[in-house]
Every structure is written in C-alpha cells, then in structure tokens.
Structure 1
Amino acid sequence: MKRDYYEILSVTKTATGDEIKKAYRKVAMQFHPDRNPGDKEAEDKFKEAAEAYEVLSDADKRAKYDRYGHQAFGPGMGGGNPFGGGGMDMNDIFSQFGDIFGGGGFSDFFGGGSGRSGQSSGARGSNLRVKIRLNYEEMAAGVTKNIKIKKYVTCAHCHGNGAKDASSIETCKTCHGTGQVRKVQSTFLGQMQTVVACPTCQGQGSTITAKCGHCKGDGRVYDEETVAINIPAGVYEGLQLSMSGKGNAGLRGGPAGDLLIAIEEEAHKELQRDGINVGYDLFISFHDAVFGAQVEVPTIGGRAKIKIPAGTQSGKIFRLKGKGFPDINGYNKGDQLINVNVWTPQHLSPEEKAALESIRESENFKPQPNKNEKSFFDKIKEVFS
C-alpha cells in the first residue's frame, strides 16, 4: 500500500512550494543511490520521494491528490500514473529533478561518486504537439485514436547508440567511462574544483569509432509512427493531455520528448455544451403546448422521449438527469437541459385567422401568470445551481 506523499516528505498539507522542495532535497540526499550503493531499500525510498515531489510540486496534481488521494492517478480518473504510466526510471528522475540540487545535477552535488550518475544518456528529444478533433460522443465516452505522426524515432539498426556495431564503441579515454572530468580553477578564494561533463564524449562515457550508416551517428531517424492515444471521458475544448516519451527520440539514446495533445471540439448539430451540462432548444407547436404531447429529443448517446404536460409555457426547462458529460476530475456527471419554445405561427390563412379571432376574448386565452411560477432569472439560477 502506498504511503501518503506528505508523510514521505515529512511536510504538512499546508506546506508551501519552497518547503516541499527543501524537504524533497533532504530526503533525496539521504537515500541517493550514490550514498547508498547496492542498497535496494534506499533506492526504493529515493524513487518514492521523487514520486511524491513530482505530484506535490505541481499545483494541479497536488489539488487532485488532496481531493482523491492516490486514486486520483488510477484508472478511469484521467490522471494516469504521475510518471506517465511507464513506471519509475532512475534516469528520468535524475534528468527531471537535477535542478533541485543547484543545476549541476545529482552527480555534481554528491561529487561524482559513481560512473552511472555521471554519464549523460544523450540529448533529450523535443516535445511534439498535435491537435485532435472530437465529437460529443467521443468526448463523453472516451476514445482511443490511432494517429500517424512524422517524427524522429530510435534507429532500428543501432538501437539508438549511433555506432556501426558493438565493436565501434569504446570507453572514453579522457574520462575513463565516467562521463565527467574534474576542473580546477583559481579564484580569489583559492583553487576551486568542479565536476563537468567530459568534453570528449559529451558526458556519454564512451566514444564511437565508426558511425551507424543509417542514422549517421545520431541514433535516430526521421520516420512515421502510429501512436495510440487514449482519450479519457470528459475532455473538453482547450484541454491539453500529454504522453510521456512519445515525442521526438533523443540523440544517441537520450530520452524521448513528450507528445502534447490539444483537444478541439467538433460542434454538434443540435446540442450546445456548457461545462458538463448540455443544452437543447425544443420548439413545440401551440397545439402541443395546450394539449400536451410526447416528443423525442436528441441526446449525446442517441435520442430520448420526454412528456410535455398540457399547458406548458414557453421558457419551461426540463432536465434529463445524467445525460450530460462526465467530470474528468471527479465522479459527477452533467445533465441535459431542454428549453421549451412555443412556436408562434407567422403566416395564417383567412380561415385560421377567423378561428383565432373568435376566441381572442375568451377568458382562458388571456395571460394569467401564476404567482408561484418561477421568473426567468429564477430559472437561470436553478439551472446553474
């Protein structure tokens, strides 16, 4: 069972961003793999702290966590795994949170104790952005879209290392495989020693003697890839989703960028969206308003029949419970609001005019508003309450 994120970092639920950052730095220092070589328990706590910080340092994710706990990132909640669903990866933690320790990365802070943490895995690939246009049915139920994207993908021949073959990779002679070199500078305070990325291998720890002929040593090629994008139920116009690692592949085995998905809404022919609710303007005849009727109205999922009581006034609003959109951040579901409009004839025959004239002065045809009838503004308040 997962521990509480606030407990992991030893902070309160009212902690500020700076307090959370400071607490994470302290825990990460304590359980960093370079300080605890071969200690699986320390490594697990290091990952646990990184996951807690990733959520609590993000205002939106923190708000979801405060409301729903760990379930906020479970199946069906639209949140997904905080680390993109691919599981915890040490390299991702180092690259994502290295700035917590002053910009030099974890290895610089701890003195470059291990070759693993000192090496760079290559330049990270850039993010990609796509737009996906969805209709009401897809936005309400969720959908999987398979789209083809032109982007940089990992070279299939060298598997991203950029070398012609395995024998074309050798340990860097400058840094001896650590990916780092120590640099001594003279300052007014005396000599200062810093650890920087090896200039020969650019932090890789290895050099290539013969480049891959397919990718020219980049470790990636420009190609087309089909990506399956799972759209959760309840998305809306302007929402941006992200898929970790589905952007451009990185250089020479570097981590891939993310795929950012912007949601666009396809207008419905009859319905109008208002948050998680749906509106529909129903026009009925004078005859149906007087005598009542059963009519069929469109909904997101198809059509539904509703009963119009006798004597229904124009402006009456009927509510179809649960026929709107689901709330992507919760368990609520919107309603469909049906606004009744009594259609007034604009063209009448002489016979029709005579028939109406004969009942013009009838007492039942004179407006007699009920004092208990809700006003227009009361109806609006009721709809949005």
Structure 2
Amino acid sequence: MARDYYGTLGVRQDATADEIKRAYRKLARELHPDVNPDAEAQQRFRDVTAAYEVLTDPQKRKIVDMGGDPMDNGAGGGGGMRDPFAGFGGLGDIMDAFFGAAGGGGGRGPRSRVQAGSDALIRMELTLEECLTGVSRELTVDTAVLCDECRGSGCAEGSSPETCDTCAGRGEVQQVQRSFLGQVVTARACPVCRGFGEVIPDPCRQCGGDGRVRARRTITAKVPPGVADGMRVRLSGQGEVGPGGGPAGDLYVEVEELPHETFEREGAELHCTLRVPMTTAALGAVLPLETLDGAEDLELEPGTQPDTELVLTNRGMPRLRSSGRVDGRGDLHVHVEVEVPTKLDAKQEELLREMAALRGEEDHTVAGAGSGRGGGLFSRLRSRHR
C-alpha cells in the first residue's frame, strides 16, 4: 500500500510548494534529533523528510497523485525506506568541506608557545610646574620579565620540548559525530598540550615552564613639556614580557595633574583671580604677580572695573601637538575681582559720603540712567546676561 505523504506532512493534496515547505520546516523543528532525541520522533523525522523530498519533486509527486509510491523499492508493496538524503545533492560532502573529514587535515595546526606580552599602565603625579617644563623621573614597576634561567624556553637546563602524544603535534583533537546532515567533525584545543602541539617534560624550576617571572625593576620615564591630566606617555617595550619569552608589550605612564593653589588650567590657557580693594581699582596700581615663570609686575589701570580680564601673552602652558612637539605657549588670564568693604567705621563712612557728595552720587542714582546715552545700571545688567 502506498504511503500517505500528504498526511505525513499534514497538508492537502492540492497544497502549493510553499505550503509544503512551511509544513516541513515546522515539523523538522519539532522532530529534529538535536531537539527531540526520542526514537519515535527520530523515525517520524525520517518519514517527514522523505515525504518532503517526494512532494517537492514534480515527477515523484505525479506518481503519488496517481496512487503509486516513488519510494517503493519493489520488495513487497510496502517497500523499504531509502536514505532520505540521497537526492539532496551531497550534503555530506558539503559538511566535509566546512569541517574536514574524519582523520583528515583541515585544522589550524598548533599555536606558538611564544606569545606577545601585554601592555602595562602606571600613574605619575605631576605638579603644574612639572607639566610646564616636563620631567624625567625614575619609576619602580612590577612586571613579568624574561626568565634568566631558561631564557624563555620554559625548559630545565639540558632538556627540550617533546611532541604531544595525545594530538601528535597538531595542537587539537577532533571528534566525529553523525547527525541527520551527515558526518560532522569538530575540533578543539588539545587538553594535554593546550594547543601548543608539544609538552615540556622537565619545566624550568624558576618559571615553571612559562618562560618569564615577575620582578621589580626601575626605569626612567621622560615626560615632555605640556602634558595634561589624563594624557599617557608610551614607553615602547617596557611592559609585560610575553609567555615563552615573547616580545614585551608597552608601558603607559598616565599623568595625574595635581591641583594648583593659584592657577586653573584649560588646555594651554591658565586662569587666576586677582582680588583688589575698591580703592586700588579706582586709583590704579602696579601689583606683583607670581607666574609660573617667576614674579612679574601687573599694571592695574585707574578705574578698573569688576570682571576685567587682563591677558599676559605666552605665560600659559606649552601647546603639545599629537606629534609630541611643542608649538608655542598659551596665555595667562587674570580676572580682576573688586572687593567692596562690608564694614566701615565712622571716619571711613564720613569720607565715603564726602566723596559721594563731591561726585554728585549722594542720591544713590547712577549717572546716565534712563538718558539713553550711558545705558544706566539696568541696561548694563541686561547686556551682561543677554
């Protein structure tokens, strides 16, 4: 008796090719051996796969519609089931192309025991003055260095590495599995040699076969002028020595700039605040100012107003370019803050009132207010906050 291929897939006899494909995919997801290991489910999966092959082949489907069974091998009407993947175009060969045949090559081979070392990071605190001039400083670092006993080989004196017996030097072991797609070969690093393809039967007593040991050493770090907080200076080849005596990584020195009691830094520009009494701002003065380059005379013009900004050119920080070269210096910005007295004795109050009378300010109004010429107090405030 011919098998009911339409019933196996759960589709009507007039089902379209797309409907047959959707039905097969749905059942395959439910019955796949990797999802449902039950023996009955595996048999149903083979039946579903065979039905899909028949109904997607126009000639075979025509035989089914005529009441025949294209899968019948002629051995008793109910004929045996042939390999459901016989007509799928060599899936086994395709899987071999991706994963390699059992016992075949196709692997990546052993990896080298000599590996590059990691980079290291150390922080260095610098004052603003040291950032200005640059500094050369000795640093103590604790990193992996080359083992002086085996010189990186990892072997005790007079011994040498041997080929791993487990993987025969390939560095990997293979496992062959059979699935509905055919033969699949998976490879993983050899658990004995860890993928190196060789073992060290007599490791170095000092490094234990790693080819490196940890040690504390002193190096000299040269930091150029103009560095700022968070910048890193790279010292090539001063980092961690790699496994197997591999080349060392780099050491990065990260600058941590300490706050300054007078100056605030914005890139190459420096800022500071100068607080002066109102009498000094009114009369003017020459004041000593301690810059990073030494003491300088700062001339304050008579009638200096609050929030006046005085700029001293080339008194800021060096402009450090990405190439490491210094391209001039920034400026020093002095922000004037006028201090108004909060307490006056009788004599001081009398003198101020006398000055106010002489200036015509005893009525506490601002000259020019509302006149449209000077703008007045409120127009000045609006202009500042616009």
Q: TM-score, normalised by structure 1?
A: 0.56
Aligned residues between the structures: 268
**Which structure: larger Rg?**
2
Identity %: 28
Corresponding letter in the other structure for 1:290: A
- 3-state DSSP class of the match of 2:213? strand
Matching residue within 259, 271, 295 for 1:267? 259
Q: CA deviation at 1:136?
A: 0.9
Deviations 1:310-354 (CA, angstroms, capped at 9, x unpaired): 221121001122322334446474322111112323444433333
Corresponding letter in the other structure for 1:309: E
Q: CA deviation at 1:268?
A: 0.5
Corresponding letter in the other structure for 1:168: S
- What's the counterpart of residue 355 of structure 2? 359
- 3-state DSSP class of the match of 1:359? helix
Q: CA deviation at 1:250?
A: 2.8
User: Contact conserved, 2:153 with 2:245, CA < 8 A, in 1?
Assistant: yes
Matches within 5 A, 1:1-385: 119-122=111-114, 125-165=117-157, 167-172=158-163, 180=171, 183=174, 185=176, 201-204=193-196, 207-329=199-321, 331=327, 333-363=329-359, 368=367
Q: CA deviation at 1:270?
A: 0.8
Q: Tell me how far apart the structure 2 counterparts of residues 377 and 303 of structure 1 sit (CA, whole Å).
A: 38
User: Contact conserved, 2:366 with 2:376, CA < 8 A, in 1?
Assistant: no
Q: Tell me how far apart the structure 1 counterparts of residues 123 and 236 of structure 2 sit (CA, whole Å).
A: 16
Label 1:308 to 1:350 Cα distance change in 2 as closer, same or farther (>3 A): same
- What's the counterpart of residue 72 of structure 2? none
Q: Tell me how far apart the structure 1 counterparts of residues 376 and 140 of structure 2 sit (CA, whole Å).
A: 59
Q: Tell me how far apart the structure 1 counterparts of residues 160 and 383 of structure 2 sit (CA, whole Å).
A: 76
Q: CA deviation at 1:282?
A: 0.6
Label 1:235 to 1:121 Cα distance change in 2 as closer, same or farther (>3 A): farther
Q: CA deviation at 1:294?
A: 1.8
- 3-state DSSP class of the match of 2:265? strand
**Runs of 5+ consecutive residues of structure 2 not aligned to the other structure:** 1-105, 369-373
Corresponding letter in the other structure for 1:133: E
**Runs of 5+ consecutive residues of structure 1 not aligned to the other structure:** 1-110
Deviations 1:15-70 (CA, angstroms, capped at 9, x unpaired): xxxxxxxxxxxxxxxxxxxxxxxxxxxxxxxxxxxxxxxxxxxxxxxxxxxxxxxx
Quick check: which one's helix share is greater? Answer: 1
User: Contact conserved, 1:319 with 1:338, CA < 8 A, in 2?
Assistant: yes
User: Contact conserved, 1:120 with 1:202, CA < 8 A, in 2?
Assistant: no
Corresponding letter in the other structure for 1:131: R
Q: TM-score, normalised by structure 2?
A: 0.56
